Amino acid sequence: MLATGHTLRFSGPQNEEDNHHNGVGLLLTNTAHKSLLEWEPINDRILRARFNSKFQEVTIIQCYAPTNLTDDNTKEDFYGHLQSGLDKVPKRDITIVMGDMNAKVGCNNTGKELIMGKQGVGDINENGELFTDFCELNDLVIGGTIFAHKDIHKVTWTSPDKSVKNQIDHLAILRRWRTTLSDVRAYRGAEICSDHELLKAKLQVRIARVRTQGNTKSPRSDITKLKTPQDKQEFSISLRNKFEALADADADSLENKWEQVKNTFTVCL
């Protein structure tokens, strides 16, 4: 728990003497943290978290992929662990894979129409091929290539000398839940102490607080019982008797009185 009231779920080196070159995390609001069902720090590049929702459970896999110049073995290891993490996700979940994928997917979606649009930036690179192949294998749609924005709202990384601008941070969602995604774009004004821009996505999903075993809803009263004259008369008599008993009770607070009144109606019904 941070001083701001947010909760940070982090996967990566834990000790000060460790190499902190890698690491991924999820910064959760209080509401989001209460809806957290489970989370797994897979390694220092991948974190998986599952959230409760009023509609359908949501699983987010946060990533930090190797750069395009990294050796093939490291890339293969990354996508192997990413696939293993995704395989653990229940098939019914709204599934999102997101983060710094270090992948340029470009704007040419020929032959890949089901997993990306034409709103990408530049040309695809080797990492982009790996990422799009992964998305195609798992039926994921790359959100940043779908929605029409100016290039300044698509670019997610700028080189220190400002000469190179790339779209390498991505959010991909399971295609069956594509309609829940209403927008994906970068925000250049966010102060995040990074050469990456803030990537923001809008989903039409309402998360819900996880209910504990004792936190259950009260049963609904069956008011259809009051439709017959006999049941209605019996209810009136029972209610009058209960309130007469309340009048003699010594309620020490307004809240106690309200609880007694509410319970009276509930018991009588």
Which tens digits make up the pLDDT trace of 25-70? 999 999 999 999 999 999 999 999 999 988 789 999 999 999 999 9
Is the domain of 150 the same as that of 230? no
Domain hosting 196: range is 7-203
Spatial separation of the C-alpha atoms in residues 183 and 147, rounded to whole Å: 6
Is the domain of 143 the same as that of 173? yes
The predicted pLDDT at position 117 comes to 96
Distance of CA 190 to the CA centre of its chain: 21
Residue 77 has pLDDT above 70, yes or no: yes
Does any domain span residue 127? Answer: yes
In this structure, how many other beta carbons lie within 10 angstroms of the beta carbon of residue 203? Answer: 19
Helix or strand or coil: residue 197?
coil
Question: 244 near 261, Cβ under 8 Å?
Answer: no
The predicted pLDDT at position 3 comes to 81
| Token duo for residue 64 | 């930090």
Band (pLDDT 50/70/90 cuts) for residue 129 is: very high
Is the domain of 188 the same as that of 252? no
Domain total in the chain: 2
Is the domain of 113 the same as that of 230? no
Is the domain of 173 the same as that of 252? no
Q: What is the mean pLDDT of residues 13-18?
A: 71
| Token duo for residue 117 | 């649009």
Does any domain span residue 210? Answer: no
Which residue, of 171, 203, 235, is where some domain finishes? 203
Is the domain of 134 the same as that of 233? no
Does any domain span residue 74? Answer: yes
Q: What is the pTM of this model?
A: 0.75
